[in-house]
Amino acid sequence: MELKEQLKESEVTKTSVELQKQGSVVDEVLAGTKEADCLNPLVSNLNKMLEEEYLNLFDRMLANYLLGHAYNAIVVKTCSPEDAQYNNPLVWKEVYCYRMALRYVDYILCKEYVVLYNSALHYKYDALIQLGNTYSHMGRFQDGIECYKAAALMMPHDNKWCLAFGYTLFNTHSYYDRNVEGFVVSLTKDLLKSCLKDKMTGPSANAVYNTIKEWKSPSLDKDKLIEYESSEEGEYNRWVNKNILRLNAYNDINSMSALSQEDSLYFDGIYTPKEEPESWKRLFKMLNEIKQEYVSARYMLYYYFTHSGGTHISDKNVRLADIYDQSNYSFHLELAKSSFRSLYSILDKIAFALNDYLCLGVKPERVFFNKIWFEGDKSFKVKRGISKYKSVYGLAGLLFIRNDIFGGDKDYLQAEETKLLNKVRNAMEHRAIIIVDDGVIDDDGAVLVISRSDFEDVSINLIKTVRQAIFCFVNSVNVIEHDKKTSIKEKGGLIMPQEVGCVRDEEKV
């Protein structure tokens, strides 16, 4: 890259200085010294600047970060936690702006704009924490933890990520299996305790720490690491846990813990009214199907990553036209495509289970993850059967995932990486998709051309998105069931215990 272009893109301009000054207004609003209304001119100005596209790379990163920060302040000051989650355009825009800021940071690092490194990394650190907080508030806890851990790698001794991570674990410790909940509490204590001496730590952190410091919890030293066998099964399990793809919430906390090795995510129990004695079985059967399809798709993806590169016996003596486009054809790629299709189908299965469980009344032939949320095909008003559960943030997380992949109304801003999921899936199902060793994404209407590395990135993004959707689904059911049982007990009702065994591995044939 020419030095002149580097200097242009990395120059700290008068606009940069002005943007940083304007950013201080956001902090004043969050501190309560100014009203949220004073941010409206800033939001309008930043949007206008980004639309006109005259900003250099540094200023675009900065403007997106400040705009996300401004939207966050408006949400915090004007919306209740419940109202912030369901289809709130301000939250959509907040998440989009933080994502765009992170994309610009990655671009800066990739292009080696050395003079911008320190500033870019500073904004990346803050954007990761803010994005993690927003994800956590909408029930996408796994995505939130991923952001906190990424921030921790950047500044391991800073307190900002510790505080955010600690709050999230405190609010979600009951979502974990009973055999690991104590370790989650111990980690929460350690994270919050490390922040207490910091003058920037508010009184709420002290209050939370004082609430939990006397809770009995095991030492984190007792959380033993797993030792994998040098076998195909051992390598597969290592890959699953390293990439945090286990259906086990503790996998996000300590991916190599001996406690993270099972796909243990399940319902805590389903209340069954007398008039519908079989309803709980339908839900368990649906989750069985979802989990089995997920772990099978996960293994197919693993097999592709670890075995592609050699000719499979099924590929031999298959006559294909060589049209000199460097396209790849193989059993291993077809296996990855099958995994992709299977993962997508899980989203529709989640929709079907929700339609039945929440009694949404959508006809079975019209149940799709894209369609069940709204009152009509052209309406983006959330169904009453969903929005009435305002305290069930997992449902808000699922709706956000839906909008990420399929898009919302005209104001919804999709992230490029999730928008690409649907494009790849549609090409795979309805036309041709050509995977080449290198190159840029090209779509001529009949054929989508994508590089192997881009296809692999999209596939990993999909399986992580589907994993998060499964967690949101299970967490939502568990919260609704907990509230049902609590209400029945408060009214003097009786709930019989529910015992559900496990299918033995030797019966899975």
d(CA 446, CA 253): 44
- Percent of residues, the chain, with pLDDT higher than 90: 52
- 352 close to 364: Cβ distance less than 8 angstroms: yes
State CA 334 to chain mean position distance: 26
Q: Which amino acid is at 42?
A: L
Task: Supply the pLDDT for residue 250.
Answer: 96
Is the sign of the CA dihedral 194, 199, 202, 204 positive or negative?
positive
Tokens, residue 49: 């600047």
User: What's the chain's average pLDDT?
Assistant: 87
Task: Supply the pLDDT for residue 353.
Answer: 95
Task: Supply the pLDDT for residue 10.
Answer: 52
Give the length of the chain. Answer: 509
What are the tens digits of pLDDT across the range 48-72? 988 887 788 888 899 999 999 999 9
Give 14's pLDDT tier (boundaries 50, 70, 90).
confident
The residues that bridge with 434 in the sheet, in sequence order, are: 449
Task: Supply the pLDDT for residue 440.
Answer: 79
3-state secondary structure of 441: coil
Give 153's pLDDT tier (boundaries 50, 70, 90).
very high
Give 1's pLDDT tier (boundaries 50, 70, 90).
very low
Name the more confident of 245 and 17: 245
Give the burial class of 301: count Cβ atoms within 10 A of its Cβ; 0-12 exposed, 13-18 middle, 19 or more buried.
Answer: buried
- 356 close to 385: Cβ distance less than 8 angstroms: no
Name the nearest CA neighbour of 9 among 18, 1, 17: 1
Mean of the pLDDT values across residues 31-41?
92
Given a cut of 90, whether residue 239 has pLDDT beyond it is: yes
Neighbours of 148 (CB within 10 A): 26
- Percent of residues, the chain, with pLDDT higher than 70: 92
Task: Supply the pLDDT for residue 434.
Answer: 84
DSSP 383: P
Task: Supply the pLDDT for residue 357.
Answer: 93
Name the more confident of 174 and 199: 174
Task: Supply the pLDDT for residue 24.
Answer: 86
Mean of the pLDDT values across residues 262-281?
81
Task: Supply the pLDDT for residue 31.
Answer: 87
Given a cut of 50, whether residue 311 has pLDDT beyond it is: yes
DSSP 230: S
Name the more confident of 438 and 415: 438
Give the full edge-to-edge strand order of the sheet including 442-443: 327-328, 432-436, 447-451, 442-443
Mean of the pLDDT values across residues 444-465?
90
Give 11's pLDDT tier (boundaries 50, 70, 90).
low
Task: Supply the pLDDT for residue 376.
Answer: 80
d(CA 165, CA 183): 14
Task: Supply the pLDDT for residue 312.
Answer: 81
β-pairing, 447-451 vs 442-443, is antiparallel
Question: Could you give the C-alpha distances from 162 to 84, 98, 243, 318, in angstroms and in order?
Answer: 24, 20, 22, 56
Q: Which amino acid is at 71?
A: Y
What are the tens digits of pLDDT across the range 191-206? 999 998 887 777 888 8
d(CA 342, CA 338): 6
Given a cut of 80, whether residue 429 has pLDDT beyond it is: yes
Q: Find the range with the poorest average confidence among 81-95, 210-224, 241-255, 346-360.
A: 81-95
Contact residues for 261 (Cβ-Cβ < 8 A; gap 6+): 226, 237, 241, 246, 248
Task: Supply the pLDDT for residue 67.
Answer: 95
Instruction: Report CA dihedral (188, 466, 455, 261) to the nearest 10 degrees.
Output: 50
Task: Supply the pLDDT for residue 12.
Answer: 58
CA-based R_g, the chain, Å:
24
Given a cut of 80, whether residue 262 has pLDDT beyond it is: yes
Secondary structure of 290-313 in HEC code, one letter for each residue: HHHHHHHHHHHHHHHHHHCCCCCH
Give 325's pLDDT tier (boundaries 50, 70, 90).
low
DSSP 445: S
Task: Supply the pLDDT for residue 205.
Answer: 85
HSE on the CB side for 255, CA within 13 Å?
15
